[in-house]
Structure 1
Amino acid sequence: MTIHTPGNRRTRLLAGVTGVALLLGACGGGSTTGDGKDAAEGYDPSARVTITWWTGQTTDAEVQAEQLAAEYSKAHPNVTIKTSAGASTTDDLLTKLSAGFTGGSYPDISYAYGSWAGELATSGKTQDLAKFVADPSFGWQEIPEAARNTATYEGKVIGVPALVDNLALIYNKKLFDDAGVAYPTDQWSWEDYRAAAKKLTNPARNVYGSAYSVSGSEDTTWHLWPMLWQRGGKILDGKKPAFNSDAGVSALELLRAMAVDDKSMYLDQTDEKYLPLFKDGHIGMVMSGPWALLDLKEAGLDYSVAQLPGYNGDHQTVSGPDLWVLFDHGDANRAGASRDFIKWLTSKEVDAKWNLAIGNLPLRSSEQGTPEFAAYVKEYPGGQKFFDNLANAKQGRPTLAGYEEMSRNVGDAISKVLQGAAKPKEALDEAAKKSAGALE
């Protein structure tokens, strides 16, 4: 159901997250199901049941959700699916869910950003789908590992990935040609990236070599993670911040040098400007995801895609999978019907019909042989590269309560450094100190 638009795709919930996280943690005692019982135990597939599905999407996508729900109900006439966006924007869903947990008005299924998984898992309201997805008929292993890990909290599976993605390097071929710079390759190092960005930068034409978000949001934070991993670093050591290691400092130092010393990096205060500026020919390269391809295609931009520049031959990327989270209402039939619907929605046959059609990557590796995938890679140049790049998503962002708060602290640190207001080591140390309490 997700139609990605540049600017809001990776803008995470910023205002009020701390309060929401505390409220979620207080709702349910820190386990996915209070008594450990399978929420769907005793499920009767023939029982008449009504389930609610919060898609978290725009009006246009909501129409598609209604069509999918109607298609499922036609094949399962005993199941009624009530769809709604759930909130005015996807970003507002976490707040709405928190209020619903308190008032008992939460849905059976909700869209959720992957970065919320830890908060939702500790609400005590989610189903544990571990045994359900382990059934061979589900095909859990067909979904990329990073996405499966995002849906898993302390061994419990709280949902099923709604989409998968990753970051790669998208570049404007005309700007490279104009500057006489060779196109990026999959073997590029960070030094290659920095050198090309410097050559592409042309202040007289208002052209920057690259770009970075300094809004302090998750869009700021998650772009650092691949660099940290490539240099052998970790986000956490257990539940203790570890991103302020030598690996993290050296990664941030490279970005600082590009932004402050070379002035080859456009700094976006909003998350919403750098992709449109890239599309309009003012930025040579952006680290972005497959959600950008629809706009680039419509703009007629001559672009191409390469793997992220790497360190010592390591080209790891980061995946930001979002989820369909399933909730427990103490009704086995509602729980079971929710599971069956999501299994159908994320199946090879159904996912290929709608997810690929709106420019998203396929959820499952088995979809690569479908006619829909062939049409996707033909319609969206770079789509095959993003699909292949899923193999470089070898680690996931931590699924734990406190990630959102830690992300804001890291995002603030990065923003200060790239704007010349702090040094990498002191900024990351401060972020680690601020985050320690939230991760305990």
Structure 2
Amino acid sequence: MKHSASAVALSLTAVLALGACSQTTGGSQSTENKDATVTLTYGVWSQQDTMQKLVDEFEKENPNIKVQLQVDPWTDYWTKLQVGAQGGTAPDAFWMLGDRFQVYAANDQLLELDDAIQKAGVDYKAYPQPLVDLFTYNGKHYGLPKDFDTIGLWYNKEIFDNAGVAYPTADWTWQDVKAAAEKLTDSSKGIYGIAAPLNRQEGFYNTIAQAGGSVISADGKKSGYSDPKTQAGLQYWVDFIQKGQSPTLEQFADTEAVAQFENGKVAMYYGGSFYAQRFYENSALRSKVNVTILPKGEKRATVINGIQNVGYSKSKHPEELKKFLVFLGGKKAAEIQASTGAVIPAYENTQQAWVSSMPEFNLQAFLDQIPDSVVYPVSANTAVWNKFEETDLAPAWEGKESVKDASDKLADQMNDALAKE
């Protein structure tokens, strides 16, 4: 799974139609006749094998409820979901991300779950609090966290060894990264010390928080981009490009940053826990790389994000749907996910199986950062100002504008957009 910043900025506007919503074998009496069989649909964009294991386990425990898994590629998924939610044909259950959640909740397209969660005796303390907050709207809960991801400092041990540089540790600061990037950069071999793409979740959202700045105010009403501390978090990345220690924005357009890291052209990469399985399955890369916690700026911080399982408010089978959603957010479902290595499950004390599934990597680093995690910045219509982040900050990354000028412009546009929400 990848919750990349560039992907989250994709437009919600779409023209494709979604397939049919849930059907029943037993007819409309399904919620009244305990012997009737109800079929729910479950929309996802990846992890098909793992999700099928969850479905199989749920069906074993609930023989009168069948679940049809619907898997669509990322772009198609959001296109179909928007049209389906508006037109009454969305899947019964589906994945949701924090930056899109409020749009669906505000339009009454999500099933409120507080009664079902309370009835099941679920304790919200079983999940990282920032994830619970991210998917709470007007004091109501519309799902339970499925998984989460934090960001770590991935590094290529072979490049470090060749340059005679000690591997990063949990004690590293920004200054340590800057010193290492200079030593690791070897233009004669086309090797860069670090990758500094224009990336939200894996990049500047983390350093903004580490510098003591903010992307958006706590109430979601004001941009934080005019704050000098926020701008310091952006300058951190721009400096690497200006010094020739990172590929340029143009080079990232040709080959994405994670691919350049995999190809051995970049020594350090701020990357999510969601890359662990991808790197691990690359047999040529597995022994060469490892990961540690993010370096400290003014303070420690990492962005936390994740998937929430939510339900469609117009589902024909709300009671069965609630039962399925509570199961998906429970301990057993989390343990199944952890055993596959696909993601870090959100349920407490179930993550160790994920850490152990790839012992060559220091995956504990991603869990150690949970106490310092900050919630992914969102508002009622995040996608609008996400676009401004890309267009306004790009000139700073390209060296055409100062970080201050680009950020101040972004703050003005973002504030205008927030005022219209």
Q: Which bin holds the TM-score, normalised by the shorter protein?
A: 0.7 to 0.9
8 Å contact from structure 1 (residues 110, 324) kept in 2: yes
8 Å contact from structure 2 (residues 193, 266) kept in 1: yes
Distance 1:271 1:123 in 2: 38
| Secondary structure, counterpart of 1:241 in structure 2 | coil
Deviation string for 1:364-402 (max 9, x for gaps)?
A: 222156xx3463252x51221112222221x21234222
Q: 1:416 to 1:220 in 2, by over 3 A?
A: farther
Deviation at 1:249, TM superposition (A): 1.2
8 Å contact from structure 1 (residues 220, 411) kept in 2: no
8 Å contact from structure 1 (residues 228, 248) kept in 2: yes
1:375 correspondence with 2:375: no
Distance 2:129 2:255 in 1: 29
* Residue in 1 that maps onto 2:403: 424
* Residue in 2 that maps onto 1:337: 320
Q: 1:399 to 1:9 in 2, by over 3 A?
A: closer
Q: 1:178 to 1:240 in 2, by over 3 A?
A: same
Distance 1:399 1:131 in 2: 26
Distance 2:307 2:187 in 1: 38
- Decide which of 232, 240, 261 is 1:250's aligned counterpart: 232
The amino acid across from 1:96 in the alignment is K
8 Å contact from structure 1 (residues 51, 81) kept in 2: yes
Q: Percent identity?
A: 22
* Residue in 1 that maps onto 2:69: 83
Give the superposed CA RMSD: 2.5
Unaligned 5+ runs, structure 1? 21-42
The amino acid across from 1:257 in the alignment is D
- Decide which of 296, 300, 303 is 2:286's aligned counterpart: 300
Deviation at 1:14, TM superposition (A): 4.3
Deviation at 1:202, TM superposition (A): 0.5
Distance 1:281 1:222 in 2: 19
- Decide which of 384, 391, 401 is 1:405's aligned counterpart: 384
The amino acid across from 1:422 in the alignment is E
- Which deviates the most, 236-245 or 268-277? 268-277
- Which deviates the most, 317-326 or 272-281? 272-281
Distance 2:33 2:154 in 1: 47
The amino acid across from 2:40 in the alignment is I
8 Å contact from structure 1 (residues 185, 306) kept in 2: yes
Distance 1:405 1:106 in 2: 23
Distance 2:351 2:70 in 1: 31
Deviation string for 1:113-147 (max 9, x for gaps)?
A: 33211222222111222344456732321111222
Deviation at 1:67, TM superposition (A): 4.4
1:97 correspondence with 2:86: no
8 Å contact from structure 1 (residues 152, 399) kept in 2: no
- Decide which of 253, 265, 278 is 2:246's aligned counterpart: 265
8 Å contact from structure 1 (residues 9, 291) kept in 2: no
The amino acid across from 2:7 in the alignment is R
8 Å contact from structure 1 (residues 94, 116) kept in 2: no
- Decide which of 359, 363, 378 is 2:346's aligned counterpart: 363
Distance 2:101 2:159 in 1: 40
The amino acid across from 1:430 in the alignment is K
Q: 1:222 to 1:291 in 2, by over 3 A?
A: closer
- Decide which of 347, 354, 360 is 2:330's aligned counterpart: 347
1:320 correspondence with 2:302: no
8 Å contact from structure 2 (residues 338, 354) kept in 1: no
- Decide which of 127, 141, 147 is 1:163's aligned counterpart: 147
After TM superposition, the structure 1 = structure 2 runs for residues 108-119 of structure 1, keeping only pairs within 5 Å, are: 108-119=92-103
The amino acid across from 2:146 in the alignment is A
Q: 1:116 to 1:222 in 2, by over 3 A?
A: farther
* Residue in 1 that maps onto 2:21: none
Distance 1:400 1:279 in 2: 34
